[in-house]
Amino acid sequence: MKKRVIQFIGFLILRGCLYFVMAVLFLFLYDIIHKGGGAISLEFLTQAPRRGMTQGGIFPAIIGTFLVTMVTAICAIPLGMFAAIYLNEYARQSRITRVIRLSIRNLSGVPSIVYGLFGVILFVNILKFGTSILSAGLTLGLLTLPWTITASEEALKTVPNSYREGSLALGATKWQAIRTNVLPYAIPGMLTGAILGLARAAGETAPIMFTGAAFYLPFLPKSLTDQFMALPYHLYILATQHHEISLVRPLAYGTALVLIVFVLGMNMIATIIRYRLRKKKRG
């Protein structure tokens, strides 16, 4: 009997933990949607800011985030796929392979501001790209790389070994087997993982703060070497450094809402693709 009581209380506590976490999340989302929704309007989404950001919209920030995410994608997705192909298809159990995997795990733990510092040294100063979409995109690309490598590797692992062996036994070279009978099945999974990584990158502020993001630019960026506005950085400034903080508070909420929709939207797309993939496999 005592066992039952203890179990009941114990499980109740566990359930409480769960409710706490869900409550926090709902609280967050509710606050942002509620207060941010009020600021959202067509003008907000499609126009540039005016009057020192107290009026107007955040369109340049949306474009900027989109552009820098594209650069990140071009940098992180192919490199991630190639590294994953090496690890899963070519690498043997050796010291080098262990070192590579260790490095990947460590890279995923490096603080985002440290990536920002690295980006300043390498892309802004040494390679002389200056503060630009290119520098920021490449910095974010490095940040996302461990993620795309891991996700791509997971996708490759789901392809049964019998496909590889079957191909080899028919006289395919190793690369032929990979290209024709492994990659086609792995690529959808790789892309899903990549989109999730990009969603994370789109929300990062620290790596882009000093490599290219700016608070107020009168024109849209015309090339990769221009500075750009970005949603997360915009939110940061509106929330902490603007000279009329309380006045722009609603705009801050609106920016937060747009950013969340952008990020969670990408997450949802990736999840839907993954769900469809799983269904196709079963059927």
Residues between 17 and 56 that touch another protein (CB under 8 A) = 17-18, 20-22, 24-25, 27-28, 31-32, 35
Cβ–Cβ under 8 Å, residues 175 and 202:
no
Least gap, CB of 70 to another protein (angstroms): 18
Least gap, CB of 97 to another protein (angstroms): 8
Tell me whether residue 70 or residue 107 sits nearer to another protein (CB atom).
107
Tell me whether residue 183 or residue 223 sits nearer to another protein (CB atom).
183
Residues 34, 45, 50, 106: which binds another protein (CB under 8 A)? Answer: 106
Tell me whether residue 17 or residue 222 sits nearer to another protein (CB atom).
17
Residues 46, 52, 166, 272: which binds another protein (CB under 8 A)? Answer: 166
Which residues neighbour 29 within 8 Å (Cβ) at sequence distance 6 or greater? 260
Which residues neighbour 129 within 8 Å (Cβ) at sequence distance 6 or greater? 123, 135, 138, 225
Q: Which residues of 74-112 are buried (b: 16+ CB within 10 A; e: fewer)?
A: ebbbebbbebbbebbbeeeeeeeeeebeeebeeeeeeeb
Intra-chain end-to-end CA distance of the chain, in Å: 47
Tell me whether residue 49 or residue 236 sits nearer to another protein (CB atom).
236
Nearest one of 73, 95, 209 to 145, comparing CA atoms: 73
Residues 44, 129, 204, 228: which binds another protein (CB under 8 A)? Answer: 204
* Total number of residues that touch another protein (CB under 8 A): 102
Provide the CA 264 distance to its chain's centre, in angstroms: 10
Contacts of another protein in 230-249 (CB under 8 A): 232-233, 235-236, 239-240, 249
